[in-house]
Structure 1
Amino acid sequence: MTTFSKIAPYVNEPFTDFTKEENKQAMRAAVAKVKSELGREYPLYIGAESIATDAKITSINPGNVDEVIGYVSKADQALAEQAMQAALNTFETWKKVSPRARAEYLLKAAKLMRERKLEFSALMILESGKNYVEADVDTAEAIDFMEFYAREMIRLSVINETLPLAKIAGEDNFISYIPLGVGVIIPPWNFPLAICVGMTTAAIVSGNTVLLKPASTTPVIAYKFVSLMQEVGLPAGVINFIPGSGAEVGDYLTTHPKTRFISFTGSKEVGLHINKLAAETAPGQIWIKRVIAEMGGKDGIIVDETANLDAAAAAIVASAFGFQGQKCSAASRAIVVESVYEQVAGKVIALTEQLQVGLPEENFPVGPVIDQASFNRILEYIEVGKQEGTLLTGGGKAAGNGYYIRPTVFGEVSGKARIMQEEIFGPVLALAKAKDWKDAIAIYNDTEFGLTGSYFSTSEERIAEALETVHCGNLYINRKCTGALVGVHPFGGFNMSGTDSKAGGYDYLLLFTQAKLRSRKI
């Protein structure tokens, strides 16, 4: 009988305490080490081959645009096809590797990443613009995903023992979860390690092989992860690393007849485009492609008049401006009952104006947004906000040789306003006034998205109704709406926020497998 013996129980990776000077010094040293290695070139990995191309993706530091993080080789369609063939060939052997053996690769990688936690975090500080805490949390979550999914794969492999099928006389029946095939993994830039690691390892521990196309703004940290998996001995061809253009490489692989599934995290627009392409049956295709998509949100925090207003304001500011609002779970809306609106708005303004903007490597609370396109788009939304509400604080660029924007708060915003309806993905918060708590829930629900939300109240009756009627995948009571923990807060949303998948949850690996009943007459 297969058991969980020799594998310790799952426990979330602890966060580093940066209030301690020794931890700050250790992170500064890690940043200095990473900076000494900037400007290197990084190849593709296809099967057992390391391939350098003339075409390169240039990764730059968004907090200091004169600093090049690295030059990453760029795949084209011919190389994407080569990677597909490598993945197909490797799948024939990888699918036969025992779930326990596949899980061991993840556990070994988690151990090594834990030992090098500061180094991985330091690279994210420079490549994605995260401060110390945000980068540390990202790396911790990557470790959590590997630890959690390793155990989940073993659990699924013994599901018939833990959840037996009904018995009938004369038959022996057994359910097994087998891999799908070759998948395309398209992770986002905002959690360039955690989500990249989670999406990729969920697929491979389930027995699939993958084509990993990282975000073009953060390809170096993805390369470091792939290198780590090679270091622990993962067979060549299980992960094929092919950075490239979404229009050229992404669309080609999405429409490929041998692609079995696409796992995507990113914008609504790109997710819908992938879903549309995947729905078309290509010549030679013998399955319906599976799309696993997390597509963002327009998340909000509701505050009623019974709430702890100080706690609510602190949660609003933390949720709105953590990592510059560049989280699909970020609270870009706060909906406050009118009798306490002015109090909450005043507290939010005061806390927001305490946030300092500057270089992530110097651990400022607010750093840059990711690139020039995001910078321009967010500033455009700020101009829209000036027409739709009252500018309470912020409202433009911040100083620095990077993509810096001041944390911005608008007040008296209508629930139908663009800045209340459209995902901005930047440091912009809209405050709306509700007549009462039921009106606040109605305003919250008036969106095409449904990812995260928070409800602040001390009324158990209202909380009970909010738990039933606030329509989102992750609803939190009296806490911020960001910061989901693997295994604790399975993450994923409704409506245009995605396909209702729950990353870091107990059903997530089922999306990368198919259940096969084996029935035998005895």
Structure 2
Amino acid sequence: MIAAQEGWPTPVFTHKADTDAMYETMACQMLEAADVIRPAFASHNVRTLAAAIETARELGLADDAFELQMLHGMGDAIKAAVGSLGLRVREYAPVGELIPGMAYLVRRLLENTANDSFLRQTFVEGAAVDDLVRPPRPSADFRTTPARLPTVEPTDPEAPGRFVNQPHADFSRRENRDAYDAALATVRERCGAHHPLRIGGRDIETVRRLDSVNPAAPEELIGTVAYGGRAEAEAAVAAARAALPAWRDATPAERAAVLFRAAELMRAEAMELSALMTLEAAKPRREADGDVTEAVDFLEYYGREMLRLGAPRRMGRAPGEHNLYFYQPRGVALVIAPWNFPLAILTGMTSAALVTGNPVIVKPASATPVIAAHLIRLLEAAGAPPGTVNYLPAPGAEVGDFLVRHRDVDLIVFTGSMEAGLRIVSQAAQHPGREGVKKVVAEMGGKNAIIVDADADLDVAVTEVVASAFGYAGQKCSAASRVVVLEAAHDEFVARLVEATRSLRTGPPEDPATRVPPVISAEARERIESFIAAGEQEATVALGPADDERPDSGYYVSPRVFTGVRPDAVIAQEEIFGPVVAVIKVADLDEALTVAGGVKYALTGGLISRSPATIARVRREFRVGNLYINRGITGALVERQAFGGFKMSGVGSKAGGPDYLLQFLEPRVVTENTMRRGFAPSDDLLDRGL
């Protein structure tokens, strides 16, 4: 199931005959190594048991050199028969708590009563003995080796087919680990390279330069970029404005083709782009790979969406008139990008503006300008005309505000903090564009909660809270920074959460054992530590600083767990953007919903519960942009979980969803009276806007 969700090759056999055949193969290998191991075979399948017994005898093994195992209460006749042969039989049963034990027994019961189960075929269906002991007949897929990654063919702009998410790299496979390590070495050899501005298809140098460093080792220079000012900003606006007429009038298919080609190029460089984000943004390999695959998804999805929206729609069928509904781009777009998803979010915002016909000025985050330079290179290599994508690293207070107020900027797309987003909204309203009101799409912060119900599966609750709260050191707007736990589950949940969090490795992002990498900068670390200090004054520290040895350099913050947190506490209300989680105990579901919704944000939320009634109620009443049930609350996938919130979490529709591109377009309607003298065009021509 997980493999299917990820788009990976199926890692298990899907035919019982394949499973049986592999079991016998492995049994033979184990028996051949009986001088160093003690083979034991658990099965109720007489054919499987007989194969193991006969193989042991062919190898000359004594009857006590191996053992057979069967579950208490199942296949008693088989146990008796095997025992009569003088062989060792171990009868086993689950020991421990009642509910998990019952679940185990139910699973065994389902397996042993399945249609292709040996026990069912023997004792219920009365299958012939010859059929039951016949050797397994493997399928054609038996012993095939899956590819490192599924092959993804380039998208044909003329017939793109349905959208399918790009598979993540499966780092449990050695070839993927080796490919990533090789890419990391390659990228490190290129560190220190300089990247000029890119305006109107030309490289532009500046006196000022910006250094990009490794958050895990700030002394390591990742690269330098030219650092623009107002003069370069004016040049970028002029270049975008000059490119607008031709790009606006390009067909949707021509614009979508650029995105599809960029996706193809990005796939080819996926490991190197991941490695670059490991070094520049301190993203562990799985997080970095997820960033790349999401970027590819945005390119593929928005390309298809533009083809869908680009087809004019005939409205109504009244005789004697023809009404056509279609879209045009808004104008010049300014993209202000965040550092925490330096490729994915930047690609999503930029490609959405580009494919809808709006030339783009890209102002990347100052912490991650090098990965942004690579995106611009890929888009130009994919065919984006000069001036349609302009790369402008620059200080926010000096240049960002200047561009937001610029009269020739028509559209502003922003992802970042609530404070910065509200300032952009205000400035854009006070400084309209040359031809109209500026459109602002702003994705802002979150203060997200997971509700843990009284009947929650605590294995799931702990695992998903830890992943949601501490993945990428909590530096996600979707991260879980609050856990609202019903009283009946609170104490056991907290005890397990603390120990699970204690087990997390804090360290360099390139280390595969690292779960909590450094935060992005010294300033970010200081801000997080100020919230930790506030938490120490207003709550109980259930898990404090880690005792593990961390590197001397790097912006590390150990995970923290606070309990006894009041719903109105600072650490329960303000976005921290770090590895800090506040646990809030509540009496019942009514209080849980009140607490979970009692913040100014409404981005993500979660529920861990076994109760269908609770799930149904939370689905209705926990009003956030993305609600996740019995899973983590981070890692939204394009199309499947279109992402975005409301209240103070954002202005605009969901990224990666069917409404997102509409924000970059203006609708138009043309009505024509077709009851005229002379030539009347056909409906087919009119429907195509010709």
Residue aligned with 2:271, SS: helix
Q: Quick one: distance in 2 between partners of 1:116 and 1:8? A: 23
Aligned residue runs from structure 1 range 55-74, under 5 A: 55-74=208-227
So what's the TM-score if we normalise by structure 1? Answer: 0.97
Residue aligned with 2:451, SS: strand
Structure 1 gap segments, 5+ residues each: none
Aligned to 2:440: 291
Matched, 1:26 2:176: no
Residue aligned with 1:334, SS: strand
Matched, 1:175 2:328: no
Shift in Å, 1:5: 4.5
In the alignment, is the contact (CA less than 8 A) between 1:300 and 1:333 conserved in 2? yes
The one-character-per-residue Cα deviations of 1:189-239 (angstroms, maximum 9, x if unpaired) are 000000000000000000000110000000000000101111122101001
The one-character-per-residue Cα deviations of 1:157-182 (angstroms, maximum 9, x if unpaired) are 1252xxx5222121111111110000
Q: Quick one: distance in 2 between partners of 1:28 and 1:150? A: 32
Q: Quick one: distance in 1 between partners of 2:435 and 2:454? A: 57
Aligned to 2:472: 323
Aligned to 1:124: 277
In the alignment, is the contact (CA less than 8 A) between 2:157 and 2:257 conserved in 1? no
Letter in 2 for 1:158: A
Q: 1:495 aligns with which of 638, 644, 647?
A: 647
Q: Quick one: distance in 2 between partners of 1:396 and 1:418? A: 23
Letter in 1 for 2:349: M
Aligned residues between the structures: 516
Letter in 1 for 2:593: I
Residue aligned with 1:362, SS: coil
Q: 1:309 aligns with which of 442, 445, 458?
A: 458
Shift in Å, 1:287: 0.6
Q: Quick one: distance in 2 between partners of 1:329 and 1:169? A: 51
Aligned to 2:9: none
Residue aligned with 1:197, SS: helix
Are the structure 2 counterparts of residues 416 and 395 from structure 1 closer, same or farther at C-alpha, using a change threshold of 3 Å? farther
Aligned residue runs from structure 1 range 147-226, under 5 A: 147-158=300-311, 160=313, 164-226=314-376
Matched, 1:391 2:541: yes
Q: 1:335 aligns with which of 481, 484, 496?
A: 484
Q: Quick one: distance in 2 between partners of 1:41 and 1:5? A: 38
Aligned to 1:431: 583
Shift in Å, 1:396: 7.0
In the alignment, is the contact (CA less than 8 A) between 2:477 and 2:577 conserved in 1? yes
Shift in Å, 1:394: 3.0
Letter in 2 for 1:73: A
Shift in Å, 1:4: 7.2
Q: Quick one: distance in 2 between partners of 1:463 and 1:48? A: 53
Shift in Å, 1:264: 0.1
Aligned residue runs from structure 1 range 13-52, under 5 A: 13-52=166-205
Matched, 1:419 2:568: no
Q: Quick one: distance in 2 between partners of 1:33 and 1:178? A: 43
Letter in 1 for 2:538: E
Residue aligned with 1:360, SS: coil
Q: Quick one: distance in 1 between partners of 2:659 and 2:575? A: 28
The one-character-per-residue Cα deviations of 1:60-108 (angstroms, maximum 9, x if unpaired) are 0001111010111011001100110000000011101100010001000
Aligned to 1:468: 620
Residue aligned with 2:181, SS: helix
Q: Quick one: distance in 1 between partners of 2:563 and 2:257? A: 52
Residue aligned with 1:345, SS: helix
Shift in Å, 1:48: 2.3
Letter in 2 for 1:406: S
Residue aligned with 1:366, SS: coil
For the pair shown, the structure with the greater C-alpha radius of gyration is 2
Aligned to 1:453: 605
In the alignment, is the contact (CA less than 8 A) between 1:382 and 1:395 conserved in 2? no
Aligned to 1:518: 670
Residue aligned with 1:454, SS: strand
Shift in Å, 1:439: 0.6
Matched, 1:141 2:294: yes
The one-character-per-residue Cα deviations of 1:302-330 (angstroms, maximum 9, x if unpaired) are 01112111101111110000100000000
Q: 1:279 aligns with which of 404, 415, 429?
A: 429
Shift in Å, 1:46: 0.6
Shift in Å, 1:351: 1.1
Identity, % of aligned positions: 45
Taking only aligned residues, the RMSD between alpha carbons, in angstroms, comes to 1.3
Q: Quick one: distance in 1 between partners of 2:288 and 2:316? A: 47
In the alignment, is the contact (CA less than 8 A) between 1:44 and 1:73 conserved in 2? yes
Shift in Å, 1:6: 2.4
Q: 1:380 aligns with which of 525, 530, 533?
A: 530
Are the structure 2 counterparts of residues 124 and 144 from structure 1 closer, same or farther at C-alpha, using a change threshold of 3 Å? same
Q: 2:381 aligns with which of 214, 220, 231?
A: 231
Aligned to 1:85: 238
Q: Quick one: distance in 1 between partners of 2:414 and 2:382? A: 26
Q: Quick one: distance in 1 between partners of 2:297 and 2:464? A: 24
Q: Quick one: distance in 2 between partners of 1:306 and 1:238? A: 54
Q: Quick one: distance in 2 between partners of 1:332 and 1:382? A: 12
Q: Quick one: distance in 2 between partners of 1:438 and 1:307? A: 16
Shift in Å, 1:463: 1.3
Q: Quick one: distance in 2 between partners of 1:450 and 1:255? A: 28
Which structure exhibits the higher relative contact order, with contacts defined as CA atoms closer than 8 Å and separated by 6 or more residues?
1
Letter in 2 for 1:411: T
Q: Quick one: distance in 1 between partners of 2:543 and 2:312? A: 54
Letter in 2 for 1:109: A
Shift in Å, 1:29: 0.7
Aligned to 2:630: 478
The one-character-per-residue Cα deviations of 1:457-512 (angstroms, maximum 9, x if unpaired) are 12222211111111210011111110100010110001100114200000100000
Aligned residue runs from structure 1 range 363-378, under 5 A: 363=512, 364-378=514-528
In the alignment, is the contact (CA less than 8 A) between 2:157 and 2:260 conserved in 1? no
Are the structure 2 counterparts of residues 466 and 500 from structure 1 closer, same or farther at C-alpha, using a change threshold of 3 Å? farther
Structure 2 gap segments, 5+ residues each: 1-155, 675-690
Letter in 2 for 1:211: I
Q: Quick one: distance in 1 between partners of 2:592 and 2:458? A: 16
Q: Quick one: distance in 1 between partners of 2:672 and 2:302? A: 30
Shift in Å, 1:285: 2.8
In the alignment, is the contact (CA less than 8 A) between 1:379 and 1:396 conserved in 2? no
Q: 2:395 aligns with which of 245, 249, 256?
A: 245
So what's the TM-score if we normalise by structure 2? Answer: 0.74
Aligned to 2:682: none
Aligned to 1:76: 229
In the alignment, is the contact (CA less than 8 A) between 1:293 and 1:501 conserved in 2? no
In the alignment, is the contact (CA less than 8 A) between 2:455 and 2:489 conserved in 1? no
Matched, 1:355 2:504: yes
Shift in Å, 1:362: 1.7
